[in-house]
Amino acid sequence: FFSTLTINADTPEFSFRLDLKRSESFPAHRFSCKGYWFHSDERYTAFPVPKDSAHLQLQLGESLGAGRTGTAYSAQVSAPLPQLSRPVPSELVVKFAKLNHCRNLAREAWIYNYLDRIPQSSGTIIPRCYGFFTTTLTELPSAKRPYNLPWSSVDGEHAKRDDDLWDDVEVEEYLDEIPSELITKERSAWNSWVPDSKNPLVAVLILEKGGPMYNEIDDQDPLVKKDIKQIIRDLSLCGVAHGDFRMSNLVRSPTTTEVCPYHKCVHKWNIIDFNRAWVLDLGVECIPDAIVAVDPGYRQPGFYGWNPSK
């Protein structure tokens, strides 16, 4: 829907205006379930960035939490929107990447783009994504370059580069087999991206807002556990391995969640945070192998964020 974005903030914590443009996301390599290796695929390329589409204006609200790679805030749509093919909720989520984790957020944006084209996933087991946007701080007037703000923190361990991804490996197929106009992982500017302290990049992802996070109390409910197992299976059938499946990456579904075509119900939970995800080939003969490879081991140590055996 959107080509440009404005985020305004006026709180006791900080005050700023940020103007961003829609940015290309970071495609993945394709993982072979049979051979257990990554390769390029012309279906796994960057999706077109919409031009001359609508402008989204948001007023930043409360903090929803922070993780290793970014910080999430609620935000209200603060300007009238044009007539769109589907209504946009009045409250959304803005996920800011830390200054040295923009590459990871670009990958998460691609996963949302990829899943959005699979009818049984977007709006059923994941929140809808309304775009990936970037700007550089040097594009802002010097008097309006805020640094100690949602995007400005840096992970000390990787201050000079982003985290490695599962598919940061050499592929076994040649790029000349894929049309040159298609942006694969190797051709993407994000593939070799590193933070630039002289020209810092701000990257944000705009998502539909879900409800509270999954917790130990939820985990005592057999119906909740059944729902979680179902959405894991749905994600597996989409060929996506989450890579970081745990309680904090499950939230109650938005009120706009649609009926799941597989389970014929409205799932109560959504999976979020796909910056560590990877994707698999899903020919009919590969589905059993894909399910084994993707299933993140719900109920295994680590789901709670701690190891109960210790």
Q: Show Cβ contacts of residue 308 under 8 Å, excluding neighbours closer than 6 positions.
A: 301
Among candidates 44, 31, 34, which has minimal Cα distance to 285? Answer: 34
Number of H-type helices and E-type strands within the chain: 3, 13
Q: Which of 162, 119, 164 is nearest to 259 (CA)?
A: 119
Which tokens in the block code for residue 83?
């007539």
Distance between CA atoms of residues 107 and 103, nearest Å: 6
Determine if residue 229 is labeled as part of a ligand binding site: no
Query: What φ, ψ does residue 150 adopt, rounded to 5°?
Result: -50, -35
Strand order across the 30-31 sheet: 38-39, 30-31, 278-280, 240-241
As annotated, the binding site includes: 95
Annotated binding site for ATP: 95
